[in-house]
Amino acid sequence: MNQVAVVHTGAITAMGDDLEALWQGLLDRESAITTATRFATDNYISSCAALINDLVPDSKKAMVFQLADRVMEQLPPLPRDTLVLTASTKGGIDVLETARRGTETSKEQLIISSLPGYIARRLGLAHQGINISAACTSSTIALAKAAAFIASGRASSVLVCAVDIISEFVFSGFSALKAMSSTPARPFDSKRDGLTLGDGAAALVLFSEEKMKKEGIEEKALITGWGIANDATHITAPARNGCGLKRAVSHALAMAGIPPDRIGAVSTHGTGTVYNDAMELTALHSLCGSQGLAAGSVKGAIGHTLGACGGIEAALGIRMLDHQVVPGTPGFTSPETGAGSMISSRHQPFDSDHLLTTNSGFGGINGALVLQKRRR
């Protein structure tokens, strides 16, 4: 099986226009969550969001395509045979809103499957791939699929572009579910009461080792294991015992060929909803124990970026491995039972070459990746 290397990373969030701005903002304990101004929030249970302020609704170009353009600018020229996989839950849903209000719009950009082809054409790539729309695990699954393509020899270079924006349609849906907090999200806090939504995009380029040598590029990290599982419990709520997440993580660890105690840090899904956070704590305690494990969530700073969160968090996970530190979890002041032994508002150092990143989504879908620090 071919080794899978991450060779390029990029990200855009409400914290800033690149991955460095996000990383530094987290280290400086900043938060990008503020009052949403893209649309009126008077009728919803929250007015909080982490929105990219200069991302403007446009009837001719969906915001998700605008954001994809911007994150692609962070990439160098890619080999023409690079395969494109995108990850987005709702794509150009803001175009539908515009159309329903009577404005002529680009119907093509409403169709989520048009995103990978758009990116392939924009970058001059020969092969269009597919879009993965698997709720909030979309980009984790896209990265797993990309890694599988390379590991099996079916591709030597894959671009994963993960992007989602917060439209009023999405915001109103989470409000109707009563899943949002009226204040910035507090992952793993005993007083947490819901999530905060945010815009975001990430781009990660994966190469085989042979491709790296041919292109003269060094890896940023390796993806050594991945797992996907569904708990088949409820349309929105996770299984309380974490069975789906446990299966996904167990599969990822087995593929990586390491026991749980080799994992030094975990980038959790950590949305700040009551049941998700409790499920994750149950799963992590069951699989990895808690002693010496540094874990955290970034969603109290940049919001839940839906289908883009796994890509953003994988890119951040590579930074964590490089610096051997997990940034403090924003909003975490009063630990939930079982959280205090692994979650902290303070930055947590760790000493390990392996980091686990996980995501869970509606419909009971769970994804896990094992990242390995780059070889010296």
Q: Is 133 helix (H, G, I), strand (E, B) or coil?
A: coil
Largest CA distance in the chain: 58
Contacts for 249 with CB less than 8 Å, ≥ 6 apart: 227, 283, 287, 356, 358, 368
HSE-up of residue 195 (Cα within 13 Å, Cβ side): 26
Q: Domain 223-373 in CATH: superfamily? A: Thiolase/Chalcone synthase (3.40.47.10)
The answer to whether 350 touches 264, Cβ cutoff 8 Å, is yes
Q: What phi and psi, each to the nearest 5 degrees, are found at residue 170? A: -65, -45
Q: Which residues of the chain have pLDDT under 70?
A: 59, 98-110, 290-291, 376
| 304 annotated active-site | yes
| pLDDT for position 103 | 65
Q: Which of 48, 161, 243, 269 is catalytic?
A: 269
| Angle value at C-alpha 142, between 138 and 144, nearest 5 degrees | 120
Residue 38 tokens read as: 């893209």
| pLDDT for position 288 | 78
* Domain 4-215: which CATH number of 3.40.190.10, 4.10.640.10, 3.40.47.10, 3.40.1080.20: 3.40.47.10
Residue among 121, 160, 195, 126 at smallest CA distance from 6:
160
Q: Which of 48, 136, 161, 243 is catalytic?
A: 136
| pLDDT for position 106 | 65
Gap between the Cα atoms of 254 and 225, Å rounded: 7
Q: Which of 161, 243, 288, 304 is catalytic?
A: 304
- Specify the pTM: 0.96
| 136 annotated active-site | yes
* Packing angle, helices 63-72 and 114-123, rounded to 10: 30
Gap between the Cα atoms of 307 and 202, Å rounded: 10
| 309 annotated active-site | no
Residue extent(s) of CATH 3.40.47.10 domains in the chain:
4-215, 223-373
Gap between the Cα atoms of 57 and 137, Å rounded: 26
| pLDDT for position 158 | 98
